[in-house]
Homo-oligomer: A and B are copies of this chain.
Amino acid sequence: MTLGRPRDPSTQRSILAATRALLATAGYDQISIDAIAREADVSRPTVYRRWPSKAHVVFDAVFGAAEGGDILTGTGDFATDLGHFVRGVCEFWRDPVVAGATMGILADRHRDPALSIRTQQLLDEDTRRRFGVIVESGIDQGVVAPHVDVDMLWDVLVGTALYAVQVQRRDDVTDVAERLCALATKGAAIRPEEQP
């Protein structure tokens, strides 16, 4: 390889696809750079030229491939868009490849400050920004409180979904998503119209 020659993007894609294939059948701790290189039919140095460790390859294979576009719609109806987003997040966390990788990557962070910073946002900035657009449209439609805490709303939806689906292993994501949306929008406090 000539110095400075651009890296072949198809090699990168096949390494990431090989990593996802391995994650679908083996645990994160059972996977190595060696196994990834073998599965992608490339050499170990070819992998190491692109990523400093297994955790970083897995991070890109799982979270880099996430299609925020699929779960972020803009139908114009806030309840529909919110429900679609929360159900999509629950299904994302439940995906066997994602579930296998998430906790392994998070457990590896303490050894790697760069990885630690990357994992502070598991879903990407673009997904987060587009979630903000849905909330803004809810405010415009008069169904979301104008001064809603958007960052905390994101944490509640994404974090609770992670906990319910990956920690508690709830299978019924439709039920989790509906109940989470209901509580996050209406809240637990008595509303004036409910007062006894």
Chain A residues within CB distance 8 Å of chain B: 27-29, 100, 103-104, 106-111, 116, 119-122, 135, 138, 142-146, 148-149, 152-153, 155-156, 158-164, 166-169, 179-180, 182-196
State whether A167 touches B119 (Cβ < 8 A): yes
List of B residues within 8 angstroms of A146 by Cβ: 190, 194, 196
Kindly report how many copies of this chain are found in the complex they form together: 2
State whether A156 touches B180 (Cβ < 8 A): yes
Q: A187-B186, A192-B192 are in contact. Are A163 and B159 (CB under 8 A)?
A: yes
| Cβ-defined partner of A103 (8 Å) among B107, B111, B153, B186 | B107
A83 → chain B closest CB, angstroms: 13
- Nearest residue, chain B, Cβ from A111: B27
Q: What is the CA–CA distance of A63 and B119 in the complex, to the nearest angstrom?
A: 24
State whether B190 touches A187 (Cβ < 8 A): no
Q: What is the CA–CA distance of A186 and B119 in the complex, to the nearest angstrom?
A: 30
Q: A107-B29, A167-B106 are in contact. Are A184 and B196 (CB under 8 A)?
A: no
- Nearest residue, chain B, Cβ from A108: B29
Q: A111-B27, A187-B183 are in contact. Are A103 and B106 (CB under 8 A)?
A: yes
A21 → chain B closest CB, angstroms: 17
